[in-house]
Amino acid sequence: MSRATSSANPDADRAAEVLRALQELESGSAPGEEYTILKLSEPILSAQPSSKGAGEGEGGAANRRSDVSTASLDSGSGSGSGSGDRGPTPASLEADLAHYRELFAKLRFSYVEQVTKEKFIRAIVGDPPLIVTPHEIAELEAANAHAKAALKARKTEVAGMVDDLERRARDLARRYADVRAGRDLLRELPGRIAELEERVRELRARQHHQQHQQQEDDDDGAPGGGRMSTAMMNMPLGKTRELVEQRRRELGAVERELEVLGAQAPRKRKEMERLGAEVAALENRRANSTAAAREAKRRRDNNAQGGVADELEARGRWYRASEAVLRQVLDLPQA
């Protein structure tokens, strides 16, 4: 059974194997060991007490340090004592490097100046005085030029090596960060896989229950819709996506039609208001005509003069004919 399960989930087994290997590597390393920046300040910090003692005997000359170095060492030791011995940061190391480069350039200039003065004084006060010929100066300049060229080539080589080391260090740091992120993801994967499997089982059970209920409804007398819904639930992923896209296109068409109808709604509303006003005017005319017809009928019944009655009756007939014509023109129902 376990062999069948392992063959069914090769990805999960592979993830578990990789996670197990990482855990073995972590357990095999020293406790608290972690890849960090090289703690370059440890030799300097360890040499501080001896240099301090020597400085007290020599007037404090040995304790003379640069401000940047002191600040970086203090920050490194302070961070180490307060936050788990993190050591110097890349920013502090870069600042130290730039400061020491400038400092050594100044020291080299001072050294060359001091040595030149010393040789010049010895050449003057010596017995006999040291006289340098132009030929010796030319030879020294040639040797100096050769040494400078060799030094420049060596500096170029060292600069290339430093650039290569920096590039490799950055790549290694990036890869190490990716490994740590992948390790964290591998630790989370088993739980997430278990949750997804549980969710799949719940969905399958719900689908089975819905199919069973739909089958009962089909047996009761509605087979068409039930079979259609069951077929839609059992469609593969490709056809399901096609159906979803089709429904989205239909929904988009309906939304566009609604937008067109919404744009036409104000015009239709104004037209309806205009027709309502016309109908109200016709209703008023109808009421007036009806009142006049009733008045004419009353006069005809009460008045014995036939000429006046005939005139009012003719006028009433004309009003009724006009009303009928207007109703036919405006498509209004007959009264």
Q: What is the pLDDT of residues 79-112, one digit of tens each?
A: 444 444 455 677 787 888 889 989 999 998 999 9
For residues 243 and 235, is the Cβ–Cβ distance under 8 A? yes
Q: List Cβ neighbours of 332 (8 Å cut-off, separation of 6 or more).
A: 279, 282, 326
If one counts every other C-beta atom within 10 angstroms of the C-beta of residue 130, the result is 12
Q: List Cβ neighbours of 279 (8 Å cut-off, separation of 6 or more).
A: 330, 332
Report residue 194's pLDDT band, with 50, 70 and 90 as the boundaries: confident
Q: Where are the alpha helices (DSSP H) in the chain?
A: 2-8, 10-28, 41-46, 48-57, 67-82, 90-125, 134-220, 223-233, 237-302, 306-330
- pLDDT score of 273 more than 80: yes
- pLDDT score of 289 more than 70: yes
Report residue 304's pLDDT band, with 50, 70 and 90 as the boundaries: low
Instruction: State what percent of residues in the chain have pLDDT above 90.
Output: 18
Write down the residue that tokens 């960060």 correspond to: 177
Identity at 32, one-letter amino acid code: G
Chain-centre distance for alpha carbon 267: 46
Q: What is the pLDDT of residue 305?
A: 52
Q: Residues 204-228: pLDDT tens digits? A: 888 888 777 777 766 665 555 555 5
CA distances from 190 to 13, 46, 159, 300, 327 (A): 10, 47, 47, 104, 81
Q: What is the pLDDT of residue 141?
A: 92
Q: List Cβ neighbours of 158 (8 Å cut-off, separation of 6 or more).
A: none
Q: pTM here? A: 0.39
Average pLDDT over residues 309-317: 72
Report residue 245's pLDDT band, with 50, 70 and 90 as the boundaries: very high
Q: What is the pLDDT of residue 59?
A: 42
More confident residue, 330 or 269: 269
- pLDDT score of 185 more than 80: yes
Name the burial class of residue 315, with classes exposed (0-12), middle (13-18) and buried (19+) by CB atoms within 10 angstroms of its CB: middle
- pLDDT score of 31 more than 70: no
Average pLDDT over residues 7-23: 69
